[in-house]
Homo-oligomer: A and B are copies of this chain.
Amino acid sequence: MALNLSKESSVLAFDTNPVACDTAAQGGIELADSVQHIGASDCHVIFTMLPSCSVVDSVMQSLLESIPESSLSRVMVDCSTVSPSTSRRWHDTWKSQGHAMLDAPVSGGVKGATDGTLTFMVGCDHDDALQRAQPFLNNMGQRVVPCGGPGAGAATKLCNNLALAAQMIGICEAMNLGEALDVDPVVLAEVINTSTAKCWSSEVSNPHPAVAAAKAASGVDSPASRDYEGGFGVALMLKDLGLAVASAQDAGVALPMTATSKELYKMTELRGAGHKDFGYMLQFLKGK
């Protein structure tokens, strides 16, 4: 993402991972010594992409404290997947300090980040902030989708992903039962893909190795054709499901199916498959 950004803008970057720093430096990106260094710089749009709500809290706090008081208004763009309540809290904080914020979690995976084809789901309460960030978002992604006010980007991502989990598990159960009842998996996938249960998980990333192999034979790779490597990981899906369940609890909403999805992915992760694509659920159902 930083490399794509740096094609048209001057970028100052920081990461605690030395490999990421090396890659950035080799791409000609200036490196900061610390988060505070970035806050103290004159960057007027600051992007964050962090692994959890508590890391977001800590980095945001460091930025807040390092931005000089007399500074011009900054736009903070948090691309982390966090709970809408965490987002909202930081929207309020930045606003009270005269700055603006976007919550802008992404979909598209590592491939989308590298190719600059990410989708940003954006929550914010002033169009002005979005306009200031938009050119930079366009450098990194293909689509920028305004979802509503503060936290709406975070909420939208969680909602999409909880539905995606239910779809993948449903397709895994269908492929598994069909196979046990002697239906050819490739035929079953074809029928589903022309019927009411067609979805991304049945078509683009079908979890059955035989279906994935047939697709790979015609030149289209997917995780199930490479032992579930390199897709959307079980641990990442589990994280999003955890945020969805916690958000639902705060919002007073029942999520009975998502609660089941979350426990199934937790049990899968406990069997050492946290890094496998989330289509690995099919193998969990088979007893792995």
Contact = CB atoms under 8 A, between A and B. Distances in A.
Contact of A84 (B119, B149, B181, B285): B181
Contact of A263 (B162, B163, B242, B255): B255
A248 interface: yes
Given A155-B177, A267-B267, 13 more contacts: A156-B188, A156-B191, A173-B255, A176-B253, A180-B253, A181-B251, A197-B199, A254-B263, A257-B257, A259-B259, A259-B260, A259-B262, A271-B287
Given A156-B188, A197-B160, A270 B287 contact: yes
B169 A107 contact: no
25 contacts: A119-B194, A147-B188, A152-B181, A159-B183, A160-B192, A160-B196, A163-B167, A163-B174, A164-B170, A167-B197, A167-B199, A169-B257, A170-B170, A177-B255, A180-B252, A180-B253, A196-B200, A197-B199, A197-B200, A246-B246, A246-B249, A254-B263, A254-B270, A256-B267, A257-B264
Nearest to A155: B181
A82 interface: no
Nearest to A200: B196
Count this chain's copies in the assembly: 4
Contact of A191 (B84, B145, B169, B244): B145
Contacts of A248: 177, 180
Interface string A169-190: 1110111111011111001101
Contacts of A175: 159
A162 B170 contact: yes
A165 interface: yes
Interface of A: prevailing SS: helix
A258 interface: yes
A152 B174 CA distance: 13
Contacts of A84: 181
Nearest to A184: B148
A184 B187 CA distance: 39
A236 interface: no
Contact of A247 (B169, B177, B266): B177
B156 A178 contact: yes
A160 B157 CA distance: 26
A37 to B, nearest CB: 30
A63 to B, nearest CB: 24
A162 B191 contact: no
Contacts of A249: 242, 245-246
A174 to B, nearest CB: 4
Contacts of A199: 163, 167, 197-200
Interface in A204-254: 242, 244-249, 251-254
A192 B159 contact: yes
